[in-house]
């Protein structure tokens, strides 16, 4: 799994707090933007889907599935102050029991997508920290 962290005011919510997944759980705007930017690099994902912790997009290629999760480190109302908030993106291949038992690691496509995410963010003026977990 790859983690990408940064602070920015670029992806603030445009809908009110009551429309968010949970108070302070922003990320739709980031996930939507990433989906559009990755598509320009021939990495077509699905539309954003919500979870309690934020939003995610998925990439499918044959049997390969890659999840790109977008979440904020924010408290209720932080998305409406105009101040930057901290963001986390993870890029991971959901692991099946069969895959783990065979000792197989993630597909090289996971790293390729993580690096593409970093690239589009940096091209968008966002300074990021990338780590492999």
Q: Quick: pLDDT tens for 54-101.
A: 999 999 999 899 999 999 999 999 999 999 999 999 999 987 656 666
H-helix segments, the chain: 28-39, 97-101, 108-123
pLDDT of 27 strictly over 80: yes
What pLDDT digit, counting tens, does each position of 95-122 carry? 765 666 666 778 999 999 999 999 999 9
- Output the pTM of the full model: 0.91
Could you give phi then psi for residue 7, rounded to 5 degrees?
-120, 130
Gap between the Cα atoms of 62 and 80, Å rounded = 40
- Domain range enclosing 39: 2-132
Name the pairing type of β-strands 54-61 and 64-73: antiparallel
Q: What's the domain count of the chain?
A: 1
Collapsing DSSP to helix, strand or coil, 55 comes out as strand
pLDDT value of position 60: 97
Q: How many CA atoms lie within 13 A of 24 on its CB side?
A: 7
């Amino acid at each position: 799994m790859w983690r990408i962290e940064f602070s920015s005011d670029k992806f603030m919510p445009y809908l009110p707090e009551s429309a968010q997944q949970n108070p302070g759980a922003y990320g739709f705007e980031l996930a939507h933007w990433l989906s559009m930017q990755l598509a320009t690099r021939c990495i077509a994902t699905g539309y954003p889907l919500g979870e309690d912790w934020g939003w995610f997009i998925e990439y499918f290629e044959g049997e390969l599935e890659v999840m790109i999760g977008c979440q904020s480190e924010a408290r209720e109302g932080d998305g409406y102050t105009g101040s930057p908030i901290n963001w986390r993106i993870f890029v991971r291949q959901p692991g099946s029991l069969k895959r783990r038992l065979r000792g197989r690691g993630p597909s090289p496509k996971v790293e390729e997508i993580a690096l593409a995410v970093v690239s589009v963010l940096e091209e968008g003026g966002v300074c990021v920290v990338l780590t492999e977990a």
